[in-house]
Structure formats: structure tokens, C-alpha cells
Amino acid sequence: MGTMTSTYRVQNPKTNKVVETFETISDADLERALTTADEAFSTWRETPLEERAAVLRKVASLFDAQRDELAAIIAEEMGKSVREGNGEIDDVVDIFTYYADHGAELLADEPLETEGGSAVMRKVPLGVILGVMPWNYPYYQVARFAAPTLMAGNTVLLKHAEICARSSQKIQEILEEAGVPAGVFTNVYASHDQITTLIEDPRVQGVSLTGSERAGRAVAATAGKNLKKALLELGGTDPYIILDTDDVAAAAKTAWKKRMSNVGQACTSNKRIIVMEEFYDDFVAEMVRIAESFDQGDPMNPQKGEYYPMSSRDAAETLDEQVKKAVADGATLHTGGELAEGSAYYSPAVITGIPVGSESYYEEFFGPVAEIYSVADEEEAIKLANDSQYGLGGAVFSTDEERAKRVANQVVTGMIHVNIPQARGAELPFGGVKNSGFGRELGPLGIDEFVNRQRFFVADES
């Protein structure tokens, strides 16, 4: 912790300067926040669905109206270009609108065929739900968790990443401006010990965490010990298989764009690009050419052909160490991988030949590194794709759709795509298997995670 009074801060990754610090919440204030959230639940759960939907729609319109300010906040906090920040706001608007539009039908009672009475399966809210959210998509990740959770009638405590101190507070302000009653959504600058305290508290009914595998294990252990529902969305080393292509340059351009989105800091980045040996050399050469065409850019004033800082100096140093270790293990760094002095800029890298099965091979490279593998045939591609401790997303490309579907069908992930890097949409469930976690966000499944599916049986009059 050093001499800083607080870990919550705005620290501009472009300069590594701490712009502002925030006090971690006191235990007394945290207890008050939890009490208020618990008390607010008793009225919010009785608020008609149409009223909840109206509030969610208002949240969407406020995000839309304030997008420039919101994008500027995260550009300073975690280095996202304001152009990508604007795209993130589009997703937030979609998510709140989706649950406003579909919440009532998704939460409707389901009749059950039975004898001796009538039965329905109800979806009843649980109470206070804790969200522990990451810095890579500061608004989108919270929307993904909070929109369905609130629509279902729960109340929310948000513990955001320490570097998202302004954006997390801004989210609370927007929700309150939209008419969410006090205590229904509360941002808390909580410490890790305080998170444990919250999960242990009987008033907290569940926890949703998006973050590292290490954080997931810690939260899941505490949740399990306290018999609390948990949803985990953790890391990924998503396979991206190109079986064949009639345009290597176009295939490389598509793969590159996906890999460098958000400066490579996405759970579902195509972290292992797997290509057939017959066009591997051409593909790698094309990726190197693209990588070398990029210049350092300013997140506040993005131009074409630029890369931006990673979220923090720490994150950039970690990635630099990972790449150096991979090279020491026998990999080839073709270009990039240069860590700037005194900032979080890390030049886009292309790396090949990481020995399959090595420690480096199994690690997630959370930043602008294109990792490319050569395979001889479909069988080897599938084997490589599944040789991962993670199972989040992935994609398979071929000019022959049936061939791509056949291969995709054998990839073990929560989400798999054919002939598109990743499909997007509030209606599409998101989540993984293996060490990528469990549970699903978004779509119809997202609103089912934090509800009591209650069997309600009324006997026939005899």
C-alpha cells in the first residue's frame, strides 16, 4: 500500500500520475450502506415492473446524453480512447433498454402441468446482491450485472476496481438521477477484507464477480463457505481458428482488429490465433506489417492507426515480464513488446512459437500481444484450442461454413462463433466453462441468476 492513504484513485496511465485519491469506506459507513440497501429492498421488490422498467429506460437515456463526459472519465482512469469509450456507452444503453423492454416477460410466472392443484414457477428477487467489477469496461461490466439484477427487484452494492473511482461514483449518480430510490444502488470504496465481511453478512444474498481467476477463487471460496450464490466471469485464452482463407491480408486485418480492441484487455480477446501451416508464414508477416504501422496515441484525441496505454503501469509491467519469459522459453518476438518509460504504453507485439504445454502457453496475455500458432490440420487445431485451462469464447473461420461449424462444434467454450470474431448484443448470454467461471450474464439467462425460482402451488378446492 505504501504511503497512500487510499488505494482508490484516478491514476492516468498516459503519465502514470495520480490525479486524485479517495478514502476507503469506513466499517461504520459500510454497515450503514448495507443496512440502507437491505431496507430499500423491501420497497424496491414491491415496485411494479413497469416502474422499474421506466427507471432503467431513464438510465439508458442519461448514459446516452452524458456519453462525452463518461468517455473522458475512463480515458483518464484506464486509458480507453474516447472513441472506444463511446462504443462502450452504446452497449450500456442497449443493455438497460433490453432489460426494460423484456424484463416483464422474462420474469413472468411459468405455469407447470400438475395434478391436484395449480402450480407456477415464480422468479422472486433475493435481496442485496454484491457486484465486484473490473476496470477493462468500467460502465459495460456494471450494466451487464446491474441492469438485470435491479430489474428483477434486487438491490445492489457495487465494489468497482480501485482505478475506477470516478466512473463508479458516476454510475451511482446516474442511477439516482434516473429515479432509483436511495439504497437500491450503492457504490462503495471497499477493501478486500470488507468484501469478505459483506459476503459473510446474512443480508447479502449473492455475489457477481468479473475479474481475474485469482480474485474469482477468493470470492468463490468465501461465497461457498457462507452458502451464497456466486456468478464468476474470469479469464480466457480464447482460440481463434482460421481453417482456410482466400485473402490472408483480410484475415489478418480482422484478427488484428479483434486482438487489439481495448488495447487487448478483453476477457474474450482472440488470445490464441491458430492458423494452418500452408498460409502461416504469410499470415504472420501480414500481422507484423500491421503491428508496425501503429503509433502511440492520446486516448483523449484518438486518430487512425494508433495504440493507447494499457490500464496501468503495473499491468504493462506484468505483460512485459510475461512476454520476456515466453521468449526465454523459446518463443519468437517478431515486433513490438516495448514498454515505454514512465507510462503504461506497450507497443503492439506479435509472438510465435510459444512452446505448447509450457507455463507461458497456459497464461493469459492481457494486453496488445498477438499470439500465433501453426497447425497441420483440423484435428491439431481442435486439440490446441481445447488445450487450455479456460473456456470462455472463441471463433472458427472457413470459406466452407459446414467445415467451420464441424470444427466449432468440438471447441469447449461457453461461447463459440463461426465466421465472425465475436457476436455482440444484450440478448446474447455471456459466460464460460472450466476456469473461466460459471453462470451467465446478458440475454434471458442474465436475469435468472439472482432470483429465487419459487414453486408456488395452490391446491384444488376439494
Distance CA 378, CA 448 (A): 37
Q: Look at residue 118 and give its three-state secondary structure.
A: strand
Those residues with Cβ within 8 angstroms of residue 239's Cβ, 6 or more apart along the chain or in another chain? 270, 272, 274, 384, 385, 386, 388, 394, 395, 411, 413
Specify the amino acid at residue 52: R
Q: Please, what is the Cα angle at 392 between 259 and 167, to 5 degrees?
A: 70
Tell how strand 155-159 and strand 185-187 pair up.
parallel
Distance CA 250, CA 230 (A): 41
Q: Which of 117, 103, 395, 182 is nearest to 269 (CA)?
A: 395
Helices (H), 79-226: 82-106, 140-151, 165-177, 192-200, 213-225
User: Which residue(s) pair with 233 in the sheet?
Assistant: 210, 437
Those residues with Cβ within 8 angstroms of residue 20's Cβ, 6 or more apart along the chain or in another chain? 9, 10, 165, 166
Q: Are 253 and 270 in contact (CB under 8 A)?
A: no
Q: Can 233 be counted among the known catalytic residues?
A: yes
Q: Can 267 be counted among the known catalytic residues?
A: yes
Q: Which residue has the cell 465494489?
A: 159
Distance CA 24, CA 129 (A): 20
Catalytic residue, chosen from 77, 233, 286, 364, is 233
Q: Are 346 and 312 in contact (CB under 8 A)?
A: no
Buried residues in 176-208 as b, exposed as e (16+ CB within 10 A): eebebeebbbbbbbbbeebbbbbbebeebbbbb
Catalytic residue, chosen from 267, 364, 441, 449, is 267
Specify the amino acid at residue 377: D
Q: Are 178 and 62 in contact (CB under 8 A)?
A: yes
Q: Are 207 and 200 in contact (CB under 8 A)?
A: no
Greatest CA separation found in the chain? Answer: 81
Distance CA 157, CA 208 (A): 10
Those residues with Cβ within 8 angstroms of residue 12's Cβ, 6 or more apart along the chain or in another chain? 19, 76, 77, 79
Alpha carbon 437 to its chain's center: 12
Q: Cell for 76?
A: 483518464
- Would you name the residues annotated as active-site residues? 233, 267
